[in-house]
Amino acid sequence: WARFADEHGLVLVAPQFNGADTHRRLGHACSAYQNAQAWAGEALLAAVEEISRRTKAPTEKLLFHGFGGGAQFVQSFARWQPERVAALSAHSALTWAWLEDLPGQQPLSHLRGIPMLFTAGERDDYGLGEGNRRGATANLVTALRAAGCDVRFEMMPGAAHLPTPELEAAARRFLADHL
């Protein structure tokens, strides 16, 4: 990703959110970072503003890429602040982002005009003993398309819940096409 940023003259921000002692409820003081509207979105925007102040990099519109919990954050951020998103790629998220009535989030129709790539591993389902990320992604893609959004969906053959070189390459190609 650093090479991708250098090749395209981008500033790369790779936040690491601490997921310990989180709570699933949005209003809880320790709400999970995946809920961008709770606290993590503001934390990211503050970091981006500081980077912009130091580098003079434009930050009005941002490109996003996330995997797993990071993909949940990307989806949540886009629903929270769609006007700040130039394009996003999200991979293997266990999410409920297709629901229209999420507190603090815009309706799915507000994501129209944002190019989006979603991928999931064909084996990223209940067989891992966790949630069905493949199914959650398919639900979100279906709801976004029904809302008139620009969505591309790719199933990664043979992949479970791990980032693969093919997945990462697809994300970089997609984002490069939407600079």
Average pLDDT over residues 48-71: 92
pLDDT at 18 over 80: no
Under DSSP, the state recorded for 123 is: T
pLDDT digits (tens, 9 = 90+) for 116-141: 999 999 888 876 666 788 888 999 99
Per-residue model confidence (pLDDT) at position 37: 87
pLDDT at 147 over 70: yes
Cβ(152)–Cβ(117) below 8 Å: yes
Under DSSP, the state recorded for 39 is: I
Per-residue model confidence (pLDDT) at position 156: 92
How many angstroms separate the CA atoms of 103 and 47, rounded?
Answer: 24
Per-residue model confidence (pLDDT) at position 149: 96
Average pLDDT over residues 150-174: 93
Per-residue model confidence (pLDDT) at position 161: 87
pLDDT at 71 over 80: yes
Coil/strand/helix, residue 35: coil
How many angstroms separate the CA atoms of 91 and 178, rounded?
Answer: 17
Residue 65: phi, psi to the nearest 5? Answer: -140, 135
pLDDT at 26 over 60: no
The C-alpha angle with vertex 33 and arms to 109 and 3, in degrees rounded to 5, equals 85
pLDDT at 44 over 60: yes
Prediction pTM value: 0.89
Average pLDDT over residues 40-55: 93
pLDDT at 45 over 90: yes
Share of the chain above pLDDT 90, in %: 58
Residue 73 burial (10 A CB sphere; 0-12, 13-18, 19+): buried
How many angstroms separate the CA atoms of 69 and 79, rounded?
Answer: 15
Per-residue model confidence (pLDDT) at position 3: 95
Average pLDDT over residues 45-60: 93
Coil/strand/helix, residue 119: strand
Greatest Cα pair distance in the chain: 47
Per-residue model confidence (pLDDT) at position 15: 78
The C-alpha angle with vertex 121 and arms to 158 and 44, in degrees rounded to 5, equals 145
pLDDT digits (tens, 9 = 90+) for 73-102: 999 999 999 999 999 999 988 877 777 778
Coil/strand/helix, residue 85: strand
Cβ(35)–Cβ(76) below 8 Å: yes
Neighbours of 168 (CB within 10 A): 16
Coil/strand/helix, residue 30: coil
